[in-house]
Structure 1
């Protein structure tokens, strides 16, 4: 790319920057990422990739997190993450490392809580190990941006002292920039922003209750979220980064954009493409906005397609929109 993300991240903190982080969220796979599979990523005109190592917990049995295990998919483990980092860096793509927790039965991480102090302490100890493990990898490979947590509102609110110490511990071993990824409806209530470099938003804002809303209605749906994000950025003097954003290619996709259920839906490829177009036109021109990482992208070239109704834009009309606007905001 024309500039490194290190420079880009710094310029994104300046109000007069027109360059943006044009990122994709790369889904880890069972096997290793192949060099030839990077071609489809390059063709998106992205300048950044988010990598997401996972940790797991079964709260019915223990509050301890499990991560970097031999039963995980290779791409979710430490070795897999390092392998992927090296391939992406060789192609001059810049990186965000964004650890995720998976709760049993797919429960929402934002509601995570424990019954007693002993369970909290056990969980915090393993979470700290998890985050520092990947922070060390991020430092080793000069990863430009590290996310200290993803959608953990209740944990952040109930245990603020832990998070302040965790930020200190991460900064002691990692020299890049830090972000935390909060869910769209809790971003105003999170108290960590003053200690980080970006305000991270998983940006699944509801924009319309209609099955297939017109462009004017979608733009109107952005009015209130934009005001809130602008005010938040101004208050903390930090840029907004969409640590995740995206839409499914189904009717009513903008009513609950976070919904990833597997029920049968009427496909609506035009709505997915139109919603992305409007998002780029509404947000990517704002001075206080740093850019974002689309959810989500798979390594195999035949992923997505017209039989798929999930978030990926791959092999759908939305992919053309992504490429067009990422090219526009790449310099």
Structure 2
């Protein structure tokens, strides 16, 4: 079934159709929100950041005057208030950045003392933003992103932390597990959504077709659906996206800059295949496109091979599906 021929079935009602609204140096304005509304997005992820110097450092540095405005508590609040004022619901998703872009899943301490220091620092970090989520009436709060090393080493801490977050914040909770992590995450039954950053490998083709990609999704989809049924929680793609480059679905998590040529068709096909594979499933809650920059006019474009769909054919694919949701929700 083609994207443009889809009817407004009841399964689309209530789907979370979001963008990951990237933190900027500056305050967000109505002009920055207008393109989000134009693609019919009903949700946006706001992402303040904390920074760690090394993969074994226990201190999280956050909410400082050296950070970009959108990475701080004040900035996140301004983004949330503006999005809410435009009728866009929000997932607040505080994230950790390790210097030089080291994968956060590798975060591990070298001593019990350092683990305890990290736990105290993360508690301070995440409860700061849980209180902001409650203050601003955020609809979803994400308690962490791709932190498998931390989670697997300290499961009791995480379960206790979720309890503290619940005492602070009264909305829906999720955690953003990496695509190869979610099956081992131990606390889904204490959250409201199974959150997955959906960078699953699907195809080794240079420009995979929509049908090839949908075939690539089948084994992963079966696993995800079975897991959702077992845990009795809906699945939310806390991030989903593809680079506009050759072999985009071979290793969709790649972020390095010395890479393949621009391929706009591959990115658009990958988006279509994901929507056609998941958006009709009752157990699937929706997701957040990775990623969407505030300065729309200067983002993406036909010569860009990065993740953003802005000003590329993939943007129209997203707009088409999100429009279907809007129409279905209004009926």
Structure-2 separation of matches of 1:299 and 1:255: 28
1:222 is paired with a residue whose SS is helix
Post-superposition offset of 1:16: 6.6
Post-superposition offset of 1:37: 1.7
- CA distance 1:187–1:32, change in 2 (3 Å): same
> What is the aligned counterpart of 1:311 among 301, 307, 311?
307
TM-score computed with the length of structure 1 as normaliser:
0.93
Deviates most, 105-114 or 287-296: 105-114
1:329 is matched with: 325
Q: Does the alignment pair 1:206 with 2:213?
A: no
Structure-2 separation of matches of 1:181 and 1:258: 14
Post-superposition offset of 1:142: 0.4
1:75 is matched with: 70
> What is the aligned counterpart of 2:150 among 155, 160, 168?
155
2:116 is matched with: 121
1:22 is matched with: 17
Structure-2 separation of matches of 1:264 and 1:237: 40
2:139 is matched with: 144
2:309 is paired with a residue whose SS is coil
Post-superposition offset of 1:85: 0.8
State the Cα deviation string for residues 214-244 of structure 1 (Å, max 9, x = none).
Answer: 2322111000110011001100110000000
Unmatched 5+ stretches in structure 1: 1-14
Contact 2:55 2:102 in 1 (8 A): no
2:165 is paired with a residue whose SS is helix
Structure-2 separation of matches of 1:47 and 1:79: 23
Q: Does the alignment pair 1:223 with 2:208?
A: no
- CA distance 1:169–1:138, change in 2 (3 Å): same
2:41 is matched with: 46
Structure-1 separation of matches of 2:215 and 2:35: 33
Structure-2 separation of matches of 1:281 and 1:173: 37
> What is the aligned counterpart of 1:195 among 161, 177, 190?
190
State the Cα deviation string for residues 96-155 of structure 1 (Å, max 9, x = none).
Answer: 000110111211111110110111111110100000000000000100100000000111
4+ runs of 1 displaced by more than 4 Å?
none
1:181 is matched with: 176
2:274 is paired with a residue whose SS is helix
1:5 is matched with: none
CA RMSD of aligned residues (A): 1.3
Count of equivalent residues: 317
Structure-1 separation of matches of 2:324 and 2:246: 28
Alignment of structure 1 residues 84-103 onto 2, 5 Å = 84-103=79-98
1:12 is matched with: none
Contact 1:18 1:287 in 2 (8 A): no
TM-score computed with the length of structure 2 as normaliser:
0.93
2:6 is matched with: none
2:285 is matched with: 290
Contact 1:18 1:285 in 2 (8 A): no
Post-superposition offset of 1:264: 4.2
- CA distance 1:111–1:61, change in 2 (3 Å): closer
State the Cα deviation string for residues 276-322 of structure 1 (Å, max 9, x = none).
Answer: 01110110001100000000000112211112110000000111101
Structure-1 separation of matches of 2:223 and 2:13: 21
Deviates most, 103-112 or 47-56: 103-112
State the Cα deviation string for residues 81-107 of structure 1 (Å, max 9, x = none).
Answer: 011111111101000000110111211
